[in-house]
Amino acid sequence: MFYSYAVLINEIKSMRAIALILLLVPVASFGWGVTGHKTVCTIAYDELTSTARAEVNRLISMDSQYDNFADSCLYADGPPRIRTFDHFLNVPRSYRAISKKECPLADTCVLLAVDNDSAILANSDKSDAERLEALKLLGHWVGDLHQPMHISFQDDLGANQIRQKGNDESSLHGAWDFSIIDRELGDDHIQIAADLRAAITAKDRKQWRFDSSVEWVDESFQITLARRTEYCTLKNGACWYDEDNMMLNPGEEWKEVNITKRYTSRHRKTVEQRLQQAGLRLAVTINKALDSSE
């Protein structure tokens, strides 16, 4: 990767400063939104073994807030938002791929959260309350890490500071959370899940079942970097905020992306696949945690 040491150090210092700001400023980042998260968890629930599904049902029956697994996958977004830094993975703008299980700019991130909560769910020595909490969080984390904007850059808050043209209330991040799904797929998560699950091929199942969580986040990151996503500009070995500015600094004007019908239609297949992959992989993760035969 082409990147000077001095620039990298300055970037990391800036990232740490922004991280402090993040603790004080609420960020509208919901990782697929209601429909997306429920779709992922509905696919996953229908893919569970009978043993795993029985345990999921038992744990969810103890929850005072949620009646079913799909609804419980919204828990981490709150309010209040649970474990803010576990919803995403930020990397330096010099990165072109993610190949390690690490959080380069933080002590924790969504990649580690999946492992941590999977382990709690699988541990019969943990209390039911702890395992229920882990189940609800795990459903959310696997959804989040398949949303490309959650594997991105800290200075623009994962594209939350890239405005949708003509819409000061929403962002590029919001387009991937809501707009593409709402405009292209609708808001009936049960029907969307049924259609997407039916379209998963035997080849898909074989391929997606055995890859790793590092591969999952890199898939998202490659979508983030893609020119057609219009997130950033590849320049001098890094992914710049725009043509003339590598990073967005506090107080600078935000750039805009025009989220047209053409944009949402162009990314429909990508979003459908990410929802399918998240649902199937979540099911595999839960099955391994709750069914010893898996």
What pLDDT, in 10s, does the model give residues 112-132? 999 999 999 999 999 999 999
At 157-216, the pLDDT tens digits run 999 999 999 887 899 999 999 999 999 999 999 999 999 999 999 999 999 988 899 999
CA-nearest of 275, 182, 284 to 223 is 275
Give residue limits of the domains in the chain: 5-290
Q: Which two tokens stand for residue 132?
A: 């229920």
Contact between residue 193 and residue 39 where contact means Cβ atoms under 8 Å apart: yes
DSSP-assigned states of every residue in 254-283: PPEE---HHHHHHTHHHHHHHHHHHHHHHH
Q: Between the CA of residue 151 and those of 60, 62, 202, what are the distances in Å? A: 29, 33, 28
The pLDDT of residue 65 is above 50: yes
Q: Which residue type occupies 31?
A: G
Using left for φ > 0, alpha for ψ between -120 and 50, and beta otherwise, residue 265 falls in: alpha
Contact between residue 200 and residue 277 where contact means Cβ atoms under 8 Å apart: no
- Of residues 167 and 68, more confidence is placed in 68
Q: Which two tokens stand for residue 275?
A: 């929802």
Pairing of strands 163-164, 256-257: parallel
**By percentage, how much of the chain surpasses pLDDT 70?**
90
Q: How many residues does the chain have?
A: 294
The pLDDT of residue 67 is above 80: yes
pTM summary value: 0.90
Sheet of strand 256-257: strand arrangement: 167-171, 163-164, 256-257
Q: Which two tokens stand for residue 196?
A: 């997407």
At 81-117, the pLDDT tens digits run 999 999 999 999 999 999 999 999 999 999 999 999 9
**Topology, domain 5-290:** P1 Nuclease (1.10.575)
Q: What is the dihedral of CA 256, 260, 265, 269, to 10 degrees?
A: 20
Q: What is the dihedral of CA 284, 111, 162, 278, to 10 degrees?
A: 0
Mean local confidence (pLDDT), 213-231: 97
Q: Which residue type occupies 181?
A: I
Q: pLDDT class for 38, splitting at 50, 70, 90? A: very high
CA-nearest of 47, 45, 46, 78 to 59 is 45
